[in-house]
Amino acid sequence: MTEFKNKLINDFPEYLFNEINTMKVAARQKGRDIIDLGYGNPDLPSHPLVVEKLIEAAQLKKNHKYSVSKGIFGLRKAVSDKYRRIYNVHLDPNKNIVNTIGSKEGLTHLLLSVLDVGDNIVVQNPSYPIHHYAPLIARANTIKIDSINTDNFLIKLEKELKNSFIKAVLVSFPHNPTTSTVTQDFYDKLVELANKYEFLIINDFAYSDVYFENQVPPSLLTSDPELKYSVELYSLTKGYSMAGWRVGFAIGNESAINSLTKLKSYIDYGTFQPIQIASTVALNELDEFPKELSQVYQERREIIVTTLTELDFIVQESKATMFVWAKLPEKFSDSYEFSKKLLDEANVAVSPGVGFGTAGEGYIRLALVENKHRIRQAMKNLIKFFDSNV
């Protein structure tokens, strides 16, 4: 049969999680009760007020027309107001913000907008898969820096900057998968490097609203108030539990935002307008809701951390995200084989660290997306698994 695909798609590596996903589906079809801690898909519902506003707005015929690709002004202003409230960052809704269809779409089109073929972009290793693949789609040259130890990232970055021209640096804090966080000082130093070497900083800020013990993750934009070198990708997916709504934003440097807005104007007409209207309500009226969700995630996290520590995993300390990142005990070294074996023998699905990059080998990521009863059962299954694999 004739195949229709270009060289870019043909050269894409096989998605490493596919085999585990296939195993998971097959097991469920056989009636096995798989507890899925692998896929970071929030199980907590969106706020009723947002759902009610969606229904109300969807009943108005005027909202069934095309919207605008950059997002309605009220939504962009709501994001601007939130950044002023939380981070003391002042944004022009018309110049510094564009609505995206989630962070993945936003990042991919942003890189297509600002990178030329062959440009160098620095990416963390490990990192969320789209951070590796979006540069490939833009046909950029990816330079991967080991970020298991965040303290060394800036040192390694400056070495790269001295040796070659870097067009952009892509980071993500709070970090997926490692759950690492940084202080404002980290961003201050990163902006200093950008000022010296003139590169664009992109921070995937998707987990900014999921944090514990009132430790609010800092924004990159606070360190670059003039927005000379910075763009942040913000999302309602995790903090407001609106994954399926696909509401995100690119925020920051006017030139980069203008480039992305121009590209999107040729590609889409924006998210369904009732979704944008409901999202405006979330941003304007529900500052406490992400805190409530975060408390749920923290309680789930504590259950997992207690068991993993007892089983000699080394767990990454963290006050943010909806994940647990843990180094396997010494008797296990291959995260992919461990994850498959755990699914097969214990009915628990986790994500192998190597799926996020070579530096993730020897680790696993667990998503806090099941209720406490299910998570406790998963931990019981894990203990039995270890007892039979001593």
Q: Both tokens of residue 179? A: 């759950």
65-285 matches 7-46+289-388 in CATH topology: no
Q: Which pLDDT score, from 0 to 100, does residue 380 have? A: 98
Residue 118 predicted with pLDDT over 90:
yes
Q: Which pLDDT score, from 0 to 100, does residue 150 have? A: 86
Q: How far is CA 68 from CA 359, 376, 384, in A?
A: 41, 46, 54
Q: Which pLDDT score, from 0 to 100, does residue 169 have? A: 98
Residue 1 predicted with pLDDT over 70:
no
**C-alpha span between 45 and 47 (Å, rounded):** 6
Q: What is the mean pLDDT of residues 266-272?
A: 92
Confidence of residue 262 (pLDDT cuts 50, 70, 90): very high
Strand order across the beta sheet in which 363-367 lies: 314-315, 323-327, 363-367, 351-352
The answer to whether the bond into 93 is cis (omega within 30° of 0) is no
Report how far apart the first and last C-alpha atoms of the chain are (Å, whole number): 49
Q: Which pLDDT score, from 0 to 100, does residue 40 have? A: 87
pLDDT (tens digit per residue) in 14-53: 666 777 888 888 989 999 999 999 988 999 999 999 999 9
Average pLDDT of the chain, as a whole number:
95
pLDDT (tens digit per residue) in 242-252: 999 999 999 99
Residue 4 predicted with pLDDT over 90:
no
Nearest alpha-carbon partner for 346 in 300, 380, 303:
380
pLDDT (tens digit per residue) in 144-200: 999 988 889 999 999 999 999 999 999 999 999 999 999 999 999 999 999 999 999
The domain segmentation of the chain, as residue ranges, is 7-46+289-388, 65-285
Which CATH code fits 65-285?
A: 3.40.640.10
Q: What is the mean pLDDT of residues 296-322?
A: 97
Q: Which pLDDT score, from 0 to 100, does residue 390 have? A: 65
CATH top class, domain 7-46+289-388: alpha beta
